[in-house]
Amino acid sequence: MKNREIAELLYETADIMEFQQIEWKPRAYRRAAQNIENLGEDIEKVYERKEKKGLTEIPGIGEAIADHIAEYLETGKVKKFEDLKGKAPSGTTELMEIRGLGAKKTKRLADELKIKTVSDLKAAVNAHRIRRLEGFGERSEENIARALRNYEKSHSRMALGKALPLAEEIIFVLKTSLKTSLKTELGSKTPKIDLSKLIYTGSLRRLKETIGDIDILAEAEGEQVGKVMDAFVSLPAVGQVVSKGNTRSSVILKEGPEVDLRVVPPESYGAALQYFTGSKEHNIELRNIAQREGYKLSEYGLYEKASGKHVAGKSEEEVYRKLGLEYIVPELRENRGEIKAAIKKTLPKLIDAGDLRGDFHLHTDYSEGRASLETMVKKAETIGYEYIAVTDHSRSQRIAHGMEIDTLKAQWDEIEKLSKRFRMKILRGSEVEILKDGSLDYPDEVLKKLDIVVGAVHSGFSSTEREMTGRIVTALENRHLDILAHPSGKLLGKREAYAADFGTVFETAAANGKVMEINSQPSRLDLNDELILRAKEYGLKFCISTDSHSVSDLASMRYGLGQARRGWLEKEDVVNTYPYSRLKEVFKKLRD
């Protein structure tokens, strides 16, 4: 799959063009790159099937870019891009990633100070050569120095599972601080701040698998604004204040990530929430619609273009309705067809947290889990689940204390005993290793006694695409396998997905009635939204599982649920929303 590769190439080319002060083209290139990332289909396959014509059918790709992509797929490079790159200094695109440095400044640094790489920049900062440049000055130099330190510390994205609790914590502390300061001015006549309106927005609200920075929105007016901003920049977690204004302030936390706070008045709250939730691509599309309909849309509201009259903005729902659209939930706002669906009123009714009735992937201290079987069962029952599957590792997973057959049977005995004491159905499961040759890690007579077999790959990540695809396909053709766990094998920020032809994997899975897991572990989120969208095309069913290794992990469900919603899944697509009585339709070996 070369989608990401090609998108990266287009983004890089856009940066270089911008550096060379070429107008408009960078925008076209970025838009094309974005659409390739969101394609949900292998671009190579598109090209094989329909050649260049297929490429130009992708939005944002016309004749010229289609030719470049074709050239890349045929030869592995694009002559025009190579030439372009040859004319720009080698470190250009990297320098432009540093906060505060865009195309113009990078160009001036290169032209006037011969700064071409990050280390050139560092040297220039240390020698105070930047402040002598016309239009730069001492402050600019200090800011570049700080941005440089930040860039080196972390220019990677944070996992959703880390960012979300962090944002919740910040909001909680900010609310507490504001409550206290509001109380101390008892008797003041200024309107109170509605603290329920203090929420996180941005990619976090869209539950994207990784987060660049944390965006927070608050509602306040008049002198209250200053109070919110003051409370925000003086939070204990703040390491550095980047900017502070009347509508926006920006800080960098000691922990690393940047947090932006925007404050808007009540009549604009909905428009601002919509705007800051993004995505950027979704918003641009929305503004285009607004323009066509004779409106102007900004974070302050929807305005009639002719009269300048404010016609919507109090709530998000109002903004969408006024534009003739069904309300679109944050998880769908990626410009992946949701706007067209909202116009036609054919948006999916997404799966909700309340729909989930069980969990098909969890570990106990029989293998690498940290809690006992009984503790896990007890906690799952408190959540209100109707069933769970206990899926400890199979025998060849030595590192994870994989279970020999005798131990597995002992676990079945304990499950039997516990079943008498708990209302919830406890299923005999196993996370069975898919071995190098695609066979499963227990003999058939053991597998057939399991209620649920969750197959997983944990080794041989550097296999070729052919080997890995063959291995998984063989496993999917095994009648004992029910669920394919963490199908892509990626670890966020640590390990790429293994090379496998997911088209073939999904096709085989669909033909054999297998279920695809959406693994909710914060470090995995696998399948992610893009692969879910692809898998759904093949008519596959999914399950959202936590892969819990401790009691607290059971709460990770919300991250997997987020990916499912981003992947347009409805209740019916996800088998752990089915009542137990219906599960037999999916898992044939299930006992009554």
List contacts with DNA (CB under 7 A). Answer: 23-25, 27-29, 31-32, 56, 59-66, 96, 98-106, 131, 134-141, 143, 202, 213, 215, 243-248, 258, 260, 276, 280, 283-284, 287-288, 291-292, 296-300
User: What residues contact 259, with CB distance under 8 A and at least 6 apart?
Assistant: 167, 170, 213, 214, 215, 216, 250, 251, 252, 253
Looking at the DSSP bridge assignments, the partners of residue 526 are 519
Q: How far apart, in whole angstroms, are the C-alpha atoms of residue 423 and residue 517? A: 25
- Angle at which helices 79-87 and 63-75 cross, to 10°: 100
Least Å distance, CB 317 to DNA, is 21
Which is nearer to DNA, 208 or 471 (by Cβ)? 208
For the bound state, the minimum distance from the C-beta of residue 59 to DNA, rounded and expressed in Å, comes to 5
Q: Are 312 and 319 in contact (CB under 8 A)?
A: yes
Nearest residue to 51 (alpha-carbon basis) of 28, 70, 25, 71: 70
How far, CA to CA in Å, does 20 sit from each of 69, 85, 89?
Answer: 22, 10, 11
How near is the Cβ of 374 to DNA at its closest, in Å?
47
- Of 42 and 213, which has the nearer Cβ to DNA? 213
The nearest distance, CB 333 to DNA, in angstroms, is: 14
DSSP 567: T
Nearer to DNA, 345 or 398 (CB): 345
Q: Which is nearer to DNA, 258 or 477 (CB)?
A: 258
Ranges of beta strands (E only) in 371-527 are 387-390, 425-433, 452-456, 483-484, 515-519
Nearer to DNA, 3 or 411 (CB): 3
Q: Tell the smallest beta-carbon distance from residue 322 to DNA (Å).
A: 16
Token couple for 234: 């003086």
Q: Between residues 61 and 170, which has the closer beta carbon with respect to DNA?
A: 61
Residue with smaller CB distance to DNA, 140 or 463: 140
Smallest distance from the beta carbon of 17 to DNA, in angstroms? Answer: 8
* The two structure tokens encoding residue 247: 């509508």
Cβ proximity to DNA, 23 vs 413, nearer residue: 23
Query: Which CB sits closer to DNA, 41 or 392?
Result: 41
CA 71, 72, 77 angle in degrees (round to 5)?
Answer: 105
CB 108, CB 133: distance < 8 Å: yes
Q: What are the distances in angstroms from CA 309 to CA 204, 297, 315, 467?
A: 32, 12, 17, 63
How far lies 258's CA from each of 5, 249, 444, in Å?
27, 11, 53
Nearer to DNA, 148 or 427 (CB): 148
What residue type is assigned to position 330 of the chain?
A: P
Q: Is 413 exposed, middle or buried (0-12, 13-18, 19+ CB in 10 A)?
A: exposed
Q: Label the pairing between strands 310-312 and 301-304.
A: antiparallel
Burial of 184 (0-12, 13-18, 19+ CB in 10 A): exposed
Q: Minimal distance in Å, beta carbon 57 to DNA? A: 9
Identity of the residue, 98 or 440, whose beta carbon is nearer to DNA in the bound complex: 98
Closest approach of Cβ 217 to DNA, in Å? 11
> What values do phi and psi take at 309, rounded to 5?
-75, 135
Q: Which of 60/455 has CB closer to DNA? A: 60
What is the nearest approach in angstroms of DNA to the Cβ of residue 259?
11
CB of 242 to DNA, least distance (A): 7
What's the closest the beta carbon of residue 131 comes to DNA, in angstroms? Answer: 7
Q: In what order do the strands lie in the sheet with 258-264?
A: 199-200, 214-219, 258-264, 248-253, 238-244
Q: How far is the CB of 39 from DNA (least distance, A)?
A: 13
Rg (CA), the chain: 27
Q: What is the DSSP letter of 581?
A: H
